[in-house]
Amino acid sequence: MSVSSYLNTTPQLGEGLYLHPSAQVIGDVTVGADCSIWCNTVLRGDVNRIVIGNCTNVQDFAMGHVSHKNDKKPDGSPLIIGDYVTIGHQAMLHGCTIGNECLIGMAAIIMDDVVVQDQVMVGAGSLVPPGKVLESGHLYVGRPAVKVRALTPEEIAYLKYSAEHYVRVKNNYLKDHL
């Protein structure tokens, strides 16, 4: 595993984290408790901050990055991810906000200043252009992503279940590697 400081800022890693040896976490990154960061994932908090809540999993080859602060955007675009979120394989999150109990599908791209409200599912391969707001309780799919329909009660329950499942999986990895 590679945990690297950037400009004297070192990542803050929560209790019970599973960080795969091939993952890289750099700079101003805060990861909550019981999270998992999987194979070849990169979280690069160099020009802004990344904050990840509790019980969130960031799967293989995912990329999390940010946009720098400037005169037009004094706060830039940090990457904020809530609790009980599943970020699928090869997803790219750039300077966006993801609410609680969301599922971001494999290879989805979420651009700067997007706000994904709580309990949203973004389909695999979707592209969410800058500045969009994805409303709570819906499925979004496509390039560009559009609201397809409301999530069923079963799908909403699955959002938290998925994250809890990954907590159990990472706990097994931690047992095997202690």
Q: Residue 136's pLDDT is what?
A: 99
DSSP codes of every residue in 139-157: EEEETTEEEEEEPPHHHHH
Please report the pLDDT score of residue 58 as a whole number.
Answer: 99
pLDDT tens-digit readout, 29-38 = 999 999 999 9
Q: Give the per-residue pLDDT at 59.
A: 98
Instruction: Map residue 29 onto helix, strand or coil.
Output: strand
Residue 176's pLDDT is: 87
Q: Please give the structure tokens belonging to residue 167.
A: 């907590």
What is the span of the domain harbouring residue 134?
A: 3-176
Q: Say how many domains are in the chain.
A: 1
d(CA 72, CA 106): 32
The residues of the chain scoring below 70 in pLDDT are 1, 178
pLDDT of residue 151: 99
**What pLDDT score was predicted for residue 109?**
99
What CATH number does the domain containing 160 carry?
A: 2.160.10.10
